[in-house]
Amino acid sequence: MSTTPPELTILTTLSRARMATYEIATTRIPQQSNPVDALALYGWNAQVSSALLLPLHMCEVVIRNAVSDALELVYGAGWPWSPGLLRSLPMPQTGYRARSDLHATGARFNTTGKVIPELKFIFWQTMFTSRFDKRLWSPHLAAVLPHHDPAKSIADVRDEVYKDLEVVRQLRNRIAHHEPIFKRNLLDDLGKVEQLIGLRCPATAAWMRAQEDTSRIIALKPWTAP
């Protein structure tokens, strides 16, 4: 009969390499980790990651609909197949290629409504770079994100949206790959999500807050965690 504590068995099952981050974070005595504390932090990290999917989902849907509306104002309802839009999209030597993404997605689907959810999150973020200020955001940002701060310039609002979307994208990617997020200021992350949604529709932002369980789970973070 095995005398191995169940916590050590669980750590091994999850992999000691993966759990090392949590063991280090919860070690109170040098060179002496506590499997119970490490598992508590890991479980909490998984729970809060799951809870964040709802606000992240709503944020992505709201932002991509806002960008789609702006693109429609410039290129028409069939904007995914507009040669002018395709030519305007970046095609760097390395990294994400928005033009290729849109072209390939447009070739697979025949309606704008089907193209929108298939484009990568970074496509929507890319649309908030300065290269689109003149044609897209200077004339149309107020129409699709009407609740921005009127005291700020359109370029400043657009830049802030881009930066907040970068924070959201990095958080989303870490969650998707089951990575630790316990060192992040998750209340700040949640606030950015709410702010992005609120630029489009404060009622939707408030509704998201009423639906989400992230705030409650954040408050349950194990006391041993950093």
Domains identified in the chain, total number: 1
CA atoms within 13 A on the CB side of 24: 9
pLDDT at 192: 98
Instruction: Split the chain (226 residues) into runs of 10 and give each run's mean pLDDT.
Output: 76 90 82 82 97 98 98 98 97 95 97 98 98 97 97 98 98 97 96 98 98 96 69
14 lies in a domain? no
> What digits encode the pLDDT tens for the residues 61-75?
999 999 999 999 999
Q: Which domain holds residue 46?
A: 21-218
CA distances from 27 to 21, 43, 204, 220 (A): 10, 16, 42, 19
12 lies in a domain? no
pLDDT at 32: 65
DSSP type of residue 133: I
Residue 209, exposed/middle/buried by CB under 10 A (0-12, 13-18, 19+)? middle
2 lies in a domain? no
pLDDT at 226: 55
How many other C-beta atoms are found inside a 10 Å radius of the C-beta of residue 137?
23
**Residue 188, token pair as written in the block:** 């700040």
**Residue 93, token pair as written in the block:** 């030597």
125 lies in a domain? yes
225 lies in a domain? no
